[in-house]
Chain A
Amino acid sequence: MKFITSNFVRCAVKSCDGTEGSFPLNFQDCKLQLEEQEFNEEFIISMLERLDWSALVKVASQLGNNAIPPQKPSLDDINEVLLKDLHSLLLETQIIEGKMICDNCQHVYYIKDGIASFLLPPHLAK
């Protein structure tokens, strides 16, 4: 799973809808791998608008990256170094193994062989 996807997934349990703990998920015991990707400045800039910045900072720090500015940089503050860092974090960082925990219901989702599974046990699924 690419790091960027952590910004677009939450707990799949319906009763967690809208709760604070269900997004972002709490990433634990993760194994990371870098997979080189072509740098596309425009794509990263356009992503800036779409990303939930505080979720991004939180998950990055759970994965050991504390270098992300705590506030979303404005378009004037952006420089190539920052964009390349973001490119590397968002698209090149693969989470190969790990757990994603919902801080609301404590359900644990697993990432194995690079694939995250959000299937729920029958009693939690609709």
Chain B
Amino acid sequence: MSGSVQPTIEEIQQETEKFHSRGNSKIKESEFVHDVYNEIAQHFSQTRYKPWPIVKEFLETREDKSIGVDVGCGNGKYISINPKLFIIGSDYSTGLIDQAKSLHKGEKCNDIIVADGLNLPHNNDKFEFAISIAVIHHFADENRRIDAIKEILRVLKKGGQALIYCWALEQEKSRRGYKEGMEQDILVPWVLAQKGKKKKDIKEEEEKEVDNVEKPPVKMRFYHLYKNGELIDNCIKAGGKVVKDGYERDNWWVIVEKE
């Protein structure tokens, strides 16, 4: 298809080599997660407004007036679902937190801070619940993913529960078609919408300068695709007790409890 905005297989391979050449997980995450989210924050935020049903249900079934954290809250789409709670949402991306701040201005039931999921600025045993939706799959090695779950458990009170979602390897029916047997550590392209350019303008430019057509910028984000059972295993290794688990919309999810 001419004019396709998706990167070619070669472009993805090139970026993947670049990713693997980076010295350690921190550098990989900085370049292939944090920098990317800051760059795509505004466009990304426009696509993130519909709550997933199980997350909504989890928040609606927390006890009134309980206090929780949303680790990796992005633009904050879950921090005001249930106004009877108080949620501190945090994200590593200042770009996404800026979006959250403007979307949730004037709300009483939450607050927003910039923080690192592996170094949360909270005391131990403080919160009644936690959510971390589509976040932990961005840590670049298994130890860091387990540590991220440990960190969430650390700030929960005994008996407190966390709902965690990670992208699944098994998503054959999705448009991306990832499935069992494929590489789990992958880069996923995000095609940025071009600002202020109408189709007509682009067409005119194409006619003028056929060899120099401007492709919309593509940013590559790192994901670890979780296979069946892996998230449960990570939660157990983090010292938690898995009380419920399932699969929804190409994601594995668990409710993990602090014992």
Interface positions of A (Cβ within 8 A of B): 1-2, 4-5, 8-14, 17-18, 23, 35, 37-38, 40, 42-43, 46-47, 50, 91, 109, 113-120, 122, 125-126
B102-119 contacts to A, CB under 8 A, are 106, 108, 111-116, 118-119
Cβ A5 vs Cβ B113 within 8 A? yes
Q: 3 tightest A-B contacts by CB?
A: A118-B121, A117-B114, A46-B65
- CB-contact partner of A118 in B65, B101, B106, B114, under 8 A: B114
- CB-contact partner of B116 in A38, A42, A119, under 8 A: A119
Q: Say whether chain B's binding surface is mostly helix, strand, loop, or mixed.
A: mixed
B45-77 contacts to A, CB under 8 A, are 64-65, 67
Residues of A close to B121: CB separation below 8 A: 9-12, 109, 118
B191 within 8 A of A: no
Q: Do A4 and B115 form a contact, CB below 8 Å, given A46-B65, A126-B147?
A: no
Known: A10-B123, A12-B120. 10 other contacts (CB 8 A): A5-B111, A8-B126, A12-B116, A12-B121, A40-B108, A115-B97, A115-B114, A125-B26, A125-B118, A126-B147
Nearest residue (CB) in B for A114 is B101
B92 within 8 A of A: yes
The digit string for B112-151, where 1 denotes a CB below 8 A from any CB of A, is 1111101111111011000000000000000000010000
Nearest residue (CB) in B for A43 is B65
State how many angstroms separate the Cβ of A86 from the closest Cβ of chain B.
13
B88 within 8 A of A: yes
Residues of A close to B120: CB separation below 8 A: 12, 118
- CB-contact partner of A35 in B106, B114, B118, B126, under 8 A: B106
Interface positions of B (Cβ within 8 A of A): 26, 64-65, 67, 86, 88, 90, 92, 94, 97-98, 101, 106, 108, 111-116, 118-124, 126-127, 147
Residues of B close to A11: CB separation below 8 A: 121
Q: Do A14 and B113 form a contact, CB below 8 Å, given A35-B106, A125-B26?
A: no
- CB-contact partner of A8 in B92, B108, B112, B122, under 8 A: B122
State how many angstroms separate the Cβ of B162 from the closest Cβ of chain A.
16
Cβ A119 vs Cβ B65 within 8 A? no
Nearest residue (CB) in A for B92 is A119
Nearest residue (CB) in A for B101 is A115
User: How far apart sit A1 and B114, CA to CA, in the bound complex (Å)?
Assistant: 11
Can you name 28 A-B pairs with beta carbons within 8 Å?
A1-B111, A2-B111, A4-B86, A4-B111, A8-B122, A8-B123, A9-B121, A10-B122, A11-B121, A12-B115, A12-B119, A12-B120, A14-B119, A18-B124, A37-B108, A43-B108, A46-B65, A114-B101, A115-B94, A115-B97, A115-B101, A117-B115, A118-B119, A118-B120, A120-B116, A120-B119, A125-B119, A126-B147
Cβ A50 vs Cβ B111 within 8 A? no
State how many angstroms separate the Cβ of B109 from the closest Cβ of chain A.
9
User: How far apart sit A47 and B147, CA to CA, in the bound complex (Å)?
Assistant: 30
Residues of B close to A10: CB separation below 8 A: 121-123
Residues of A close to B116: CB separation below 8 A: 12, 118-120, 125-126
Residue of B64, B94, B121 with highest tally of chain A CB at under 10 A: B121
State how many angstroms separate the Cβ of B117 from the closest Cβ of chain A.
10
Cβ A115 vs Cβ B126 within 8 A? no
